[in-house]
C-alpha cells in the first residue's frame, strides 16, 4: 500500500490534503468536522491584529460560473479575513491542536506592513501550539485596499521584508502565500526565499468579476445595487495554478523551495498533477465548499490506488517527477509528428469536428455525402482541435507517425529536418549561425 504520510517543511500530516485558509477553516466546529472526515491538515482562516473587528457584508458573498450541467466551475468571493475576535480564534486553534496532535494546523496571518504588528501577533499564534504560519500576501479584495494582502504580494521587496521579520520573530515555519495577480510569479517567489521563508503556497484567488446583472446593471454578487471585484477560485483556475507552480519548481533561483499547491484541486488526479509539478502537498477550498468535507475520502483512496498502480511508495516519490519535462517552446521537438484518426465505430456523425476544422482551423477533415468524416493527412497539422470538440471520448485520437513516414499525397517525408526552433530555418538566430 502506498504511504500517503506527508512531511512539509517539517510539518507532519497523515496525508497531503490540507484545507486552505477560507470559510471552511474559520472556526473550531468546522475544523473538527474536517479532521473527522479525514483531512490531513488545515490552514486556519486568516487572522488579523487585535482591535476593531473586521466587518463583512451581510449580503451575497459569492459569484459563480457554471458549466452546461450546472456543475460549479469557478467561484468568486468578496469575503474578508475572519470577522471573529482574535482571542476566540486563538483559543479554538489551541484546543483543536491539542485534540488532533497528528494533524497539521497552520495559521494564516495578515496584519499591516509594520514590523511591530507582526511582532505582536506571532507569539500569540505560537502559544497555541500551531505547526506553522502562512503569510497571506494574496487576497485581492477588501484587505488589499488597506495596504495588505495582494498589495504586499505584488511588491517583491515587501514580501522579502515581511518574511524576514517573521523568521526573526518566531520559531514556527513560515509559508508565504503568493498572489497570482502579477505578471511573473517567479519574482515574488524569489523574494520569499530571499527573506528566509521556509516555503511558498499558491495560488491565492484571481481578481475577477464573474458576471453582471443586466437588470440592475451591477456586478455580481450585488450588495444594495453595487458590486466589487472579488477573488476567483475553483476548477477553472487550475491550469493557471499548475503553470505557476511549475514556473517556481523549475526556476534556477527557487528550485528546491517547498511549494504548497492551491487552485482548483477537486479530485485525486488534480492533486497528483500538482505533486508531479513540484508541490509537496495541496490545499483545497472550493471542492470542500461544493461537495462537503467527505470529498477528501475519494481523494485519499484515488491517490493511494494510483500510486499503488504506478509503483510509487510515498508522496515524496511523486513530487517533481514532471518538472524535467516542462520546457520552453523553443526546445520542443519539431520532428515529432502526429495525425488525427477518427474511430468510425465510435463516431456519432455529429459533425462538430468537421465544422470546427473547416471554419476555424486547417480544412483537414472531409465529409462524405453519407456523413462519414475522415482526416486529410496532407492538410492535418495535428493541432488536435477536433479531439477537444468531439463529444465522444476517445473517438478521435492523435497517432504518432514513424520517423521517415511519407505523405501519401506528395510522397515526401512528413518529418522536417530540424529538431526544434533553435535550428529552425525561420529562426533569425539559426540563419545567422548558418551564415
For 46-70, write each residue's pLDDT tens digit: 998 865 577 677 767 788 889 888 9
Torsion of CA 113, 114, 120, 122, to 10 degrees: 50
Confidence band of 222 (pLDDT split at 50, 70, 90): confident
User: At residue 415, does pLDDT exceed 70?
Assistant: no
Are 294 and 37 contacting, i.e. CB atoms less than 8 angstroms apart? Answer: yes
pLDDT (tens digit, 9 = 90+) per residue, 331-386? 998 888 899 999 999 999 999 999 999 999 999 999 999 999 999 988 999 999 99
pLDDT on residue 127: 97
pLDDT on residue 429: 65
Mean pLDDT of 232-242: 93
pLDDT on residue 62: 81
Among 27-36, 200-209, 420-429, the range with the most confident prediction by mean pLDDT is: 27-36
Catalytic residue among 139, 233, 353, 357: 139
Active site residue 139: yes
**Nearest-5° angle of CA 251, CA 234, CA 208?**
85
pLDDT on residue 397: 96
User: At residue 431, does pLDDT exceed 60?
Assistant: no
Strands of the sheet containing 62-66, edge to edge, are 62-66, 72-77, 230-233, 206-208
Smallest Cα–Cα separation from 330: which of 422, 429, 214, 406? Answer: 422
User: At residue 263, does pLDDT exceed 80?
Assistant: yes
Domains of the chain, earliest start first = 6-325 (3.20.20.70), 329-434 (3.30.70.20)
User: At residue 280, does pLDDT exceed 80?
Assistant: yes
User: At residue 224, does pLDDT exceed 70?
Assistant: yes
Q: Minimum mean pLDDT among 22-26, 88-92, 154-158, 342-346: which range?
A: 154-158
Q: Minimum mean pLDDT among 18-32, 174-188, 231-245, 421-435: which range?
A: 421-435
Q: Could you give the percent of the chain with pLDDT greater than 70?
A: 89
Size of the chain, expressed as the number of residues it contains:
435
Q: How far is CA 129 from CA 76, 104, 201, 398, 432, in A?
A: 33, 11, 21, 54, 63
Q: Minimum mean pLDDT among 36-50, 68-82, 340-354, 416-430: which range?
A: 416-430
More confidently predicted of 221 and 366: 366
| CB crowding 5-24: b at 16 or more within 10 Å, else e | ebbbbebebbbbbbbbbbbb
Q: Could you give the percent of the chain with pLDDT greater than 90?
A: 69
Confidence band of 154 (pLDDT split at 50, 70, 90): confident
As a whole number of angstroms, the distance between CA 219 and CA 228 comes to: 7
Confidence band of 396 (pLDDT split at 50, 70, 90): very high
Q: What is the residue-averaged pLDDT of the chain? A: 90
User: At residue 418, does pLDDT exceed 70?
Assistant: no
Helix residue spans in 1-133 (DSSP H): 28-37, 86-99, 115-126
User: At residue 417, does pLDDT exceed 60?
Assistant: no
Residue entry with cell 515574488: 188
Mean pLDDT of 248-253: 97
User: At residue 420, does pLDDT exceed 90?
Assistant: no
pLDDT on residue 434: 57
More confidently predicted of 78 and 262: 262
pLDDT on residue 229: 80
Amino acid at each position: 500500500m502506498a504511504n500517503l504520510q506527508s512531511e512539509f517543511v517539517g510539518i507532519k500530516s497523515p496525508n497531503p490534503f490540507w484545507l486552505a485558509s477560507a470559510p471552511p477553516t474559520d472556526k473550531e466546529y468546522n475544523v473538527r468536522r474536517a479532521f473527522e472526515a479525514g483531512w490531513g491538515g488545515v490552514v486556519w482562516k486568516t487572522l488579523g491584529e487585535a482591535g476593531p473587528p473586521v466587518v463583512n457584508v451581510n449580503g451575497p458573498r459569492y459569484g459563480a460560473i457554471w458549466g452546461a450541467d450546472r456543475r460549479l466551475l469557478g467561484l468568486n468571493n468578496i469575503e474578508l479575513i475572519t470577522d471573529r475576535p482574535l482571542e476566540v480564534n486563538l483559543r479554538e486553534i489551541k484546543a483543536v491542536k491539542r485534540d488532533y496532535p497528528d494533524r497539521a494546523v497552520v495559521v494564516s496571518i495578515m496584519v499591516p506592513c509594520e514590523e511591530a504588528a507582526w511582532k505582536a501577533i506571532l507569539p500569540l499564534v505560537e502559544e497555541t501550539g500551531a505547526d506553522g504560519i502562512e503569510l497571506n500576501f494574496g487576497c485581492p479584495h477588501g484587505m488589499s485596499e488597506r495596504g495588505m494582502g495582494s498589495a504586499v504580494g505584488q511588491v517583491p521587496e515587501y514580501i522579502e521584508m515581511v518574511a524576514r521579520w517573521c523568521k526573526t520573530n518566531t520559531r514556527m515555519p513560515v509559508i508565504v502565500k503568493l498572489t497570482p495577480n502579477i505578471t511573473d510569479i517567479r519574482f515574488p517567489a524569489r523574494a520569499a526565499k530571499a527573506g528566509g521563508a521556509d516555503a511558498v503556497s499558491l495560488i491565492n484567488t484571481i481578481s475577477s468579476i464573474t458576471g453582471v446583472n443586466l437588470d440592475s446593471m451591477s456586478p455580481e454578487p450585488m450588495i444594495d445595487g453595487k458590486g466589487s471585484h472579488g477573488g476567483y477560485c475553483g476548477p477553472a483556475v487550475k491550469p493557471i495554478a499548475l503553470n505557476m507552480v511549475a514556473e517556481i519548481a523549475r526556476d534556477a533561483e527557487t528550485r528546491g523551495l517547498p511549494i504548497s499547491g492551491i487552485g482548483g484541486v477537486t479530485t485525486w488526479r488534480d492533486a497528483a498533477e500538482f505533486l508531479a509539478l513540484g508541490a509537496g502537498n495541496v490545499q483545497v477550498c472550493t471542492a470542500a465548499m461544493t461537495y462537503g468535507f467527505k470529498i477528501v475520502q475519494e481523494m485519499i483512496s484515488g491517490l493511494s490506488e494510483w500510486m499503488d498502480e504506478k509503483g510509487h511508495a510515498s508522496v515524496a516519490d511523486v513530487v517533481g517527477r514532471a518538472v524535467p519535462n516542462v520546457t520552453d517552446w523553443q526546445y520542443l521537438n519539431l520532428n515529432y509528428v502526429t495525425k488525427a484518426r477518427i474511430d468510425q465505430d465510435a463516431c456519432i456523425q455529429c459533425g462538430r469536428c468537421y465544422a470546427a476544422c473547416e471554419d476555424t482551423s486547417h480544412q483537414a477533415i472531409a465529409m462524405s455525402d453519407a456523413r462519414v468524416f475522415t482526416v486529410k493527412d496532407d492538410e492535418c497539422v495535428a493541432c488536435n482541435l477536433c479531439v477537444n470538440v468531439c463529444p465522444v471520448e476517445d473517438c478521435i485520437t492523435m497517432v504518432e507517425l514513424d520517423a521517415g513516414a511519407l505523405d501519401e499525397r506528395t510522397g515526401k517525408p512528413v518529418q522536417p529536418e530540424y529538431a526544434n526552433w533553435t535550428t529552425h530555418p525561420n529562426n533569425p538566430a539559426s540563419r545567422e549561425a548558418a551564415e
